[in-house]
Structure formats: structure tokens, C-alpha cells
Amino acid sequence: MTLIDSDLPRGTPSDPPPDRELRMEAAGASAAVASPLPASPAPDGVIERLIAWAVQQRALVAGLVLALVGAGLWALNTLRVDAFPDLTDVQVQVLIEAPGLSPVEVERLATFPLEVAMNGMPRVTLVRSVSKYGFAAVTVVFEDGVDVQRARTLVSERLQGVREQLPAGAEANLGPLSAANSEIYMYTVSGGGKDLAELRTLHDRIVRPQFRTVPGVTEVNSFGGYVRQAQVIVRPNELVSRGLTLHDVVEAVKANNAVAAGGYLEHRDEQYILRGLGQAATLDDLRNTVIRATTAGVPITIGEVADVRYGAELRQGAVSQDGRGEVVSGIVMMLRGENSREVVRRVRERVEEVNASLPAGVRVVPYYDQSDLVNGTLATVRRNLLEGGLLVIAVLLLFLGNVRAALLVAATIPLSLLFAFLGMRLLGLSANLMSLGAIDFGMIVDGSVVMAEHFVRTLHGDEARGELPATRAGIAARLVAAAREVARPIAFGVLIIMLVYVPILSLQGLEARMFRPMAITVAVALFGSLLLALCFVPAIGTWVFRRGARESRYAERLAHWLDGRYARTLGAVTARPRATVLTAVAVFATTMLLVPRLGTEFLPQLDEGSLLISATKDPTISLTRSVQMQQELERTDA
């Protein structure tokens, strides 16, 4: 046997020594000469076994995908929808009402003792307060991760010990469990020829209680109008002439405006409950209340020393609309964590019942509905996703050159989104502009594009060489082999992209509440796209490409044209490494100089079709003058 290698000159190490050549020929024996052995196939890993299982159980994979579609649609319909992410920290508000006290007395007698009591509770980071005339709000902020119900329990326990220290007549209660975006529905109560006092009474007694029973509503706030109250206007001269003081009148009203318990009596076989009916029901009941009796035994009543009438409670605010005057308004507050779209829908349905229970002509008329903002946000996200999806499909058709492959890859876009919706639903995340707007279809289809493109290239090459398997089982085996070649690069590439979002998960505070849901949503969508690329595309590919696949001539010519341009560009760049590095450094430095000059904003701009005008006025301005100025401003803008 003689070994000849015409590609190598004599004298190279590949030539066997002449004496060995002669000995082998003389022996006349058949001998095997060592040659480079093909590398033994690497043992199958988890990814390779997953692909083989998906192809073998492609019917099961198709069933699982259908189940994903059903679960994803369920998650989409039940997913909490907001315009923006909830940035409210874990906080509990304590609302203090101290009628008649100035802001100085409110802060000194009510706010300060409450702040002292709230400090020192476990995991409290901040205690802040606002004191106004007759009112104060104390906000207790806890660390992130504290259960808000436990926080409210801790604050309520501390509040019990502070109530005794508050001034007489002051009341302190926990505020509603709401968030910054809880004001979901605003309306006015008008019509029927009623004045502001009557409309406010109808709102507080009929409208407000019905809205508070709507599931997902935590509070309904009243604004504007006049709160009706029974007033006792004392005549000082009458008091002096009868030797009475203002304190005597106050105590008489308190003592004679109550219900007393009298126990019960048993008579024969029956039991009778005793009631002490002393609560005033009309103005005449107040007028006839006895303050005390004279020495002659003649009773002195409140009506003799004071005027008793209905009046308006002192107010510190008003509501006007369209420059036409004051109105009575209400704001529906959503319970924190509820789905705003669903709660607004329930409130809308309840409006019809409320209007039916009001007097003739009086109606609840909405002027703000948060669902409009939510729907606008969803429309923006939906339009962006649709445009991005169509663009991706067009690019796939252009570069893959195979309609079936492009449609197979395009199918992974909605499936990945449904996977993301399901993950968001299970993790308690909300769909908003930040979480959905960050999804990039280019990243989602990355793995599927590589897999499908490799299938088309492999089958096209086999057909061109006449090696295309003739049976469906042969096609499936060829696709499994092709998938194994690119499976690990696909998996590592997608996982590396997911790792980019890991630092975002370590953010704390406001940044975490803003960006963490976005990072989780994108990571879940990418993980779903990876599973689809490794299981769905190979499994369905055995049906889609059961007769092979060919690239279009246009795609082949485009690929050759791009390859040629890239090869020339790459050659020019590698021939001048110093210039290439200097150019890259210059571009990087220029970018760093431009970054500080870029505009920044806290949240993306969203045009909801409304114009908000805020007028800053003198702190000492009277309410009457403030209302006049506000109406003039409304007429100017109308």
C-alpha cells in the first residue's frame, strides 16, 4: 500500500518514511493507516433531549399550545389594567377632624401627639403630616414589602392610645385603602331645581351610600355645596337677662339630645323594652329644650334665648363647573390593587340605579372616567404592538424567503404575549404603558427566526444535493438534527438577554415599583419565546415542512448581495484596526457628550385629551374671592 498526498510537497511530516513504505508493500498485507477520526458526537444535553421529545410528542405540544392560548386569553380578560404602574409606597393615612381649631392648634394639639405615637413602629421609614383649619392628615410610610393590612393594624393599635389625648370634639380615623391612581370616577349631582344645600344632602344620604356598596370601591368623597346643620344662634342679651351662660346652652343641647336605655319590664308572659326618646327630630324639639327652671319653677327653653334654624356648616372649599357657578361633586375612590376598568364598569352600572332613586330631575352626571385614560393607554400599546408585529412579519418574509417559515415564526409573537399575560396574572402584575410598552418583538422572535431559518437552509440544501428524505419520518429526523445544531446558541442568546434585566430586579423604592414590573414582564415573554423556539417551532415544523422547504430566488440573491457587501466591509475594517478602534472611541465619546443634553421625564407622555390648569393664589385669599376668580378663569377658557 502506498500513501500519496498530492496536496503536500515531499519532505513534509505527512509523508511516511520511504523505508516504511517499502516494508508495507513487501509485506503485501492489508494495513489500516491512522487518519483523522470524526469527532464523536457530544452527548445529548437537556436542550437536545427537549427538542427530541417535542418532535416525538408533537401532538401533545400542539395541545399544550392550545391550552396556553386558552389560559392566556383568560389572563388577558382578568388582568388588572392601569394607565401607569402604581408608584404608591406602603403607607397608612390617619385623618383628623378638629372643628373650629386653627392650623396652629391642630398641629400642636392633634398632629404632633399622633406623630409621636406613630414613630417607633417596626419598619416605619417616614411620618409626615399636613395641618389645616379644622383638619389634619398624618401619613405613615412603611418599608417596601410590608403587608398593607398589617401596617393598618399597627397604626390602628397606636391610634387607640392617642384618641384620649386629642382635644374635645376632635376625631381621628384611618384613611381609605387607596393609591395615587384611585380616583377613577368623578361626577356632579344637579338638576331638579334644588339648591346647593339640598343637592349636597341628597348626595350624602342617597348617592354616596349606594356607590360605596360597589365592589372595589373603598370611599366616596363629597365636595362642594353646603352641609346642612341645625344651628342654635344665641342672643346674648337674652342670656344675660336670665342669668345664663353659653355653657348652659351647650350642655342643655347635649343632655337633651340623646337616647337613653331603659332596660325592660316583664308583664305577665311578655317582655317590654323601655326606650328613652330624647333625641331631637325637628327644630321645634330643639326650641322646646329646657335649659333650667327659674326660682319660681318656670322653665327656660332654648327658643327663648336663641334662634334655632337650619344653616350651612363652615366650609373651606367649593366646586365650580364651566363658569356657570358652584356645583355638588363626588369622587369615587378605588380600593388599592383592584382592576380599575372593572370597577369603573360596575360604577357605571350603579349610576342608573342611583338616578332612579333620586327625586325627579336630579341626576348624577359624570365628567371624568378613568377608563377613558386606560382605554387610551391600551389603544396606544395595542397600536404599537400591531405595527411592530406587522413590521416583523414583513421583515421575516423579506429575509427568510419562505412564507410558511415566516408565518410559523410570526405565530410565536401572539403566543409569547399570551405567555407573558399568564405570567403577569399569576404574579399579580398589572398591564400598563410601562409593562407592555417595553416588549420588543425583535427579541421575542430572535430564537424562532434562527431555528426556522436553519430549517429552511438545511432542507433547501438537501433538496439541491438530492439528499432530501422521502419520508415524513426522515424529514422529522433531519429537522431534529438541524435543531440540535442551533439549539444551544439560541438558548444561550435568549438567556443572556434575560440576564440584562436582572440588575433592574435589584432596584429598591420608587425605582423598583416603576421598573421591576417591566423587567419581569419582558423576562417572562422572553422565556416563553425560548420555550416556543425549542419546542413549538420544531414540533410544528415537522408538519409545516413535511415536503421540504425552499428559499425564494429573491431571498437568495438578497443574501448573496448582503454577504458580498459585508465581506468587503469586514475586510476594509480588519485591514485598518487602528482607525476602526479610534472611530469607535470617537463615536462613544460623542455619545457620552450628548447624553447629558438629552431630555428626561419621569413617565412617558400620554395625551388623554384633557387640559389641566392649576391656578396658584394668595394663601390668605378668602373662599368667596377664590370662587369668583375660578369662575372667571373657567369662562376665559371656555
With H, G, I as helix, E, B as strand and everything else as coil, classify residue 191: strand
Tell me which of 174, 190, 216 is where a domain ends: 174
> Residue 174: which pLDDT band, with cuts at 50, 70 and 90?
very high
Q: Which domain holds residue 560?
A: 553-587
- As a whole number of angstroms, the distance between CA 202 and CA 211 comes to 13
- For all residues of the chain together, what is the average pLDDT? 85
Which pLDDT does position 11 carry in this prediction? 38
184 touches 375 (CB < 8 A): no
Residue 519 belongs to a domain: yes
Same domain, yes or no, for 438 and 412? yes
Same domain, yes or no, for 408 and 546? yes
Which pLDDT does position 608 carry in this prediction? 60
* Three-state secondary structure of 118-135: HCCCCCEEEEEEEEECCE
Residue 384 belongs to a domain: no
CATH code for position 237: 3.30.2090.10
In tens, the pLDDT along 337-380 reads 888 888 999 999 999 999 999 999 999 999 888 887 777 777 77
- As a whole number of angstroms, the distance between CA 497 and CA 525 comes to 12
- As a whole number of angstroms, the distance between CA 424 and CA 463 comes to 44
Residue 486 belongs to a domain: yes
Cell of 283: 327644630
Segments in 306-369 forming alpha helices (H) = 340-357
CATH code for position 161: 3.30.70.1430
Q: What CA dihedral angle connects 372, 374, 377 and 381, to 10 degrees?
A: -130
Residue 604 belongs to a domain: no
Name the percent of the chain lying above pLDDT 90.
Answer: 45
Same domain, yes or no, for 408 and 537? yes
Q: How many other C-beta atoms can be found within 10 angstroms of the C-beta atom of residue 359? A: 12
306 touches 161 (CB < 8 A): no
Which pLDDT does position 638 carry in this prediction? 62
Which pLDDT does position 104 carry in this prediction? 92
Per-residue pLDDT at 17 exceeds 50: no
- Is this model's pTM higher than 0.95 or not? no
370 touches 260 (CB < 8 A): no
Same domain, yes or no, for 70 and 103? no
Same domain, yes or no, for 275 and 308? yes
Per-residue burial over 157-168, b = 16 or more CB atoms within 10 Å of its CB, e = otherwise? ebbeebeeebee
242 touches 263 (CB < 8 A): no
Tell me which of 174, 202, 220 is where a domain ends: 174
Residue 164 belongs to a domain: yes
Residue 179 belongs to a domain: no
Same domain, yes or no, for 414 and 432? yes
Residue 333 belongs to a domain: no
Same domain, yes or no, for 61 and 112? no
In tens, the pLDDT along 567-596 reads 999 999 999 999 999 999 999 999 999 888
Residue 625 belongs to a domain: no
Same domain, yes or no, for 520 and 579? no
Number of domains forming the structure of the chain: 4
Which pLDDT does position 603 carry in this prediction? 65
Same domain, yes or no, for 544 and 559? no
CATH code for position 472: 1.20.1640.10
> Residue 606: which pLDDT band, with cuts at 50, 70 and 90?
low
Per-residue pLDDT at 507 exceeds 90: no
Q: How many other C-beta atoms can be found within 10 angstroms of the C-beta atom of residue 115? A: 18
Same domain, yes or no, for 494 and 568? no
Same domain, yes or no, for 533 and 418? yes
- As a whole number of angstroms, the distance between CA 541 and CA 95 comes to 63
Same domain, yes or no, for 540 and 557? no
